[in-house]
């Protein structure tokens, strides 16, 4: 199923492309799965044997009992989320012993990061980002200010407590003086860490070295992107982005492996477009069709429960994501949601100030007028589709049009959310 030893699975839109299901699918054939950026802002849904798990902090492949899951140095960790998620897996009967590896360099998200994230958004007058309020921005800020605390610091608990108490003091001052909210006590948090310290220590390792050695041995590793290309801190629709780099090129730097160890990159995109949170969205549908996609596609944020904004498939975005990430192959998800509409469109480039533009330009995103192509709508019962040739003519036309306009080959089409419902082209 996977020819190369290392495969990166990257979101080509604004996240929520259905990467969780795809990562989980490929992990059956892999030895390891690596999260390389972000934190519990991610929400990767995996459905198997009538069970459903939403991974926020852990790699999505862990329901496969043979697989090792890695959280690399580019990630940030909320220890409470991590612990709960591991408990959840255990409760599902999934053994995680010696299967989870966390890089000692990962920075930690503390209760004050979440509070600052919340309050900052609440008090903003102009540009609200609509963050997940998981403390992502404030934690990465501390990392880059070089005042962050890393999971590896747990090794010396007295030093860790000392550092953290200092940080609580500083952040409480900010919360009281700027945000006018009561301070947060460090006591209960420190108790939680103390009680679980041995367990967390048992997970810590040098993921950079572990993954390097696995790849050297010829093991197969999946690199699991979180969020999507247009949420990348550099190449997304800034400032409506997340605080980490989500693109394929940043994997080596965030995991700590040579760049030429990433052999293949795949782009994942929905058969339409969604975005959760604020920011530009050229093909957004604020009409009945948008509502239909939102409801039928159950487009609610897996982390925050917020309604996702929905719109037509946008080839300009895929061209951009293709160039930035270097993928040639696409996996299209949730094709079944488009079934039954009486209108079907794809955006192929834009008009900007009277000129035609092929590729999405984040900087101009608010002013890009999509050029639409009308396609024949389809109404197929996808339960009966077992191979690519079973798709109705109109569905094939939709898929072929995407291939032609994006210059990407469609590798597979995913239907619904069950693990086995994925149709490969070859
Ligand atoms: P943050 O990552 O919580 O700071 O949120 C920044 C922006 O990224 C907001 O628009 C969020 O809705 C969006 N975002 C963050 N994580 C995800 C995700 O996993 N899927 C979709 N959108 C996300
Ligand atoms: Mg998600």
Render pLDDT for 128-173 as a digit per residue (tens, 0 to 9): 899 999 999 999 999 999 999 999 999 999 999 999 999 999 999 9
SS (H, E, C) 240-267: CCCCCCCCHHHHHHHHCCCHHHCCEEEE
Long-range contacts (CB closer than 8 Å, 24 or more residues apart) made by 187-196: 189/110, 189/111, 189/164, 190/161, 190/164, 190/165, 192/79, 192/80, 193/79, 193/154, 193/160, 194/157, 196/79, 196/83
- What's the CA-to-centroid distance between 384 and ligand 1, angstroms? 35
Q: In terms of residues, how long is the chain?
A: 426
Query: What is the distance between the alpha carbons of residues 372 and 194, in angstroms, rounded to a whole number?
Result: 57
Would you say residue 1 has pLDDT above 80?
A: no
Q: Report pTM.
A: 0.97
**67 vs 8: CA distance, rounded Å:** 16
Please tell me if the CB atom of residue 277 comes closer than 6 angstroms to any atom of ligand 1.
yes
Ligand 1 touching residue 226 (CB < 6 A): yes
**Residue range of the domain that includes 250:** 6-102+205-265
Cα–Cα distance, 130 to 263 (Å, whole number) = 35
pLDDT reported for residue 3? 82
Residues near ion ligand 2 (CB < 5 Å) are 16, 43, 302
Is any atom of ligand 1 closer than 6 Å to the C-beta of 132? Answer: yes
CA gap 405, 229 in Å, rounded: 19
What per-residue string of b and e applies to 96-128 under the rule 16 or more CB within 10 Å gives b? beebbbbbbbbbbbbbbbbbbbbbbeeeeeeee
33-58 pLDDT tens trace = 999 999 999 998 888 888 889 999 99
How many C-beta neighbours within 10 Å does residue 391 have?
Answer: 19
**CATH of residue 367:** 3.90.170.10
Distance of alpha carbon 362 from alpha carbon 241, whole angstroms: 11
What pLDDT, on a 0 to 100 scale, did the predictor assign at position 73? 98
The residues, ordered by sequence, that sit 6+ positions from 287 with a Cβ below 8 Å of its Cβ are none
Please compute the mean of the pLDDT values over residues 308-334 and round it to a whole number.
98
Alpha-carbon gap, residue 203 to 199, rounded angstroms: 7
The ligand whose atoms approach the alpha carbon of 21 most closely is 2
pLDDT at 126 over 80: no
Q: Which atom of ligand 1 is nearest to the CA of 44?
A: 19
Contacts of 280 (CB under 8 A, 6+ apart): 237, 240, 365, 366, 368
Please check whether residues 188 and 213 belong to one and the same domain: no
Nearest CA to ligand 1 atom 2: 242
Residue 167: count of CB within 10 angstroms of its CB: 18
Same domain, 310 and 385: yes
For residue 1, being part of any structural domain is answered with: no
What pLDDT is attached to residue 253? Answer: 98
Q: Percent of the chain, pLDDT > 70?
A: 100
Q: Per-residue pLDDT tens for 62-79? A: 999 999 999 999 999 999
Residues 355, 413 share a domain: yes
Which of 221, 250, 265 lies at the terminal end of a domain, its last residue? Answer: 265
The answer to whether residues 191 and 328 belong to one domain is: no
The pLDDT, as a whole number, for residue 22 is: 95
Are 83 and 153 in the same domain? no
Mean pLDDT taken over the chain? 96
Q: Determine whether the shortest distance from the Cβ of 230 to ligand 1 is under 6 A.
A: no
On the 0-12 / 13-18 / 19+ scale of CB atoms within 10 A, 62 is buried
By the 10 Å C-beta count (0-12 exposed, 13-18 middle, 19+ buried), 243 is classed as buried
Q: What CATH number did the domain enclosing 238 receive? A: 3.40.440.10
Q: What is the DSSP letter of 304?
A: T
242, 245, 300, 306: which to mutate for ligand 1, most atoms within 8 A of CB? Answer: 242
**Helices in 32-186 by DSSP H: which ranges?**
79-91, 111-123, 136-145, 157-177
How many domains would you assign to the chain? 3
Q: How far apart are CA 332 and CA 372, in angstroms?
A: 19
pLDDT class for 301, splitting at 50, 70, 90? confident
Same domain, 156 and 293: no
Is residue 276 within 6 Å of ligand 1 at its C-beta? Answer: yes
Q: Which residues are catalytic?
A: 16, 44
């Amino acid at each position: 199923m996977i020819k190369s030893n290392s495969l990166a699975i990257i979101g080509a839109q604004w996240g929520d492309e259905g990467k969780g299901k795809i990562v989980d699918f490929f992990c059956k054939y892999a030895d390891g799965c690596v999260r390389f950026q972000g934190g519990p802002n991610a929400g990767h849904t995996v459905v198997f044997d009538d069970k459903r798990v939403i991974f926020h902090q852990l790699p999505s492949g862990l329901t496969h009992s043979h697989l090792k899951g890695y959280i690399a140095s580019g990630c940030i960790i909320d220890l409470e989320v991590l612990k709960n998620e591991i408990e959840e897996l255990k409760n599902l009967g999934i053994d995680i012993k010696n299967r989870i590896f966390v890089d000692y360099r990962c920075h930690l998200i503390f209760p004050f990061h979440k509070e600052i994230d919340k309050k900052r958004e609440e008090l903003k007058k102009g540009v609200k980002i609509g963050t997940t309020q998981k403390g992502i921005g404030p934690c990465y800020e501390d990392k880059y200010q070089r005042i962050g605390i890393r999971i590896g610091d747990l090794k010396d608990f007295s030093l860790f407590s000392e550092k953290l108490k200092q940080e609580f003091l500083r952040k409480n001052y900010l919360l009281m003086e700027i945000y006018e909210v009561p301070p947060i006590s460090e006591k209960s948090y420190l108790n939680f860490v103390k009680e679980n310290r041995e367990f967390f220590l048992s997970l810590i390792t040098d993921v950079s070295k572990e993954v390097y050695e696995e790849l050297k041995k010829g093991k197969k590793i999946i690199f699991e992107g979180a969020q999507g290309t247009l949420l990348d801190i550099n190449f997304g629709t800034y400032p409506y982005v997340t605080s980490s780099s989500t693109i394929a090129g940043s994997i080596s730097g965030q995991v700590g492996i040579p760049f030429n160890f990433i052999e293949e990159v795949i782009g994942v995109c929905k058969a339409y477009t969604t975005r959760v949170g604020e920011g530009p969205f050229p093909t957004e549908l604020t009409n009945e069709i948008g509502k239909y996609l939102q409801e039928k596609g159950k487009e609610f944020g897996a982390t925050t429960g917020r309604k996702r904004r929905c719109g037509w498939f946008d080839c300009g975005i895929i061209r951009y994501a293709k160039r930035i990430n270097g993928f040639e192959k696409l996996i299209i998800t949730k094709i079944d949601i488009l079934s039954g509409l009486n209108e079907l469109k794809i955006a192929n480039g834009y008009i900007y100030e009277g000129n035609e533009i092929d590729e999405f330009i984040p900087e101009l995103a608010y002013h890009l007028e999509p050029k639409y192509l009308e396609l024949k709508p389809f109404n197929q019962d996808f339960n009966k589709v077992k191979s690519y040739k079973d798709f109705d003519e109109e569905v094939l036309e939709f898929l072929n049009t995407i291939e032609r306009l994006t210059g990407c080959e469609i590798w597979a089409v995913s239907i619904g959310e069950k693990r086995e419902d994925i149709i490969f082209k070859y």
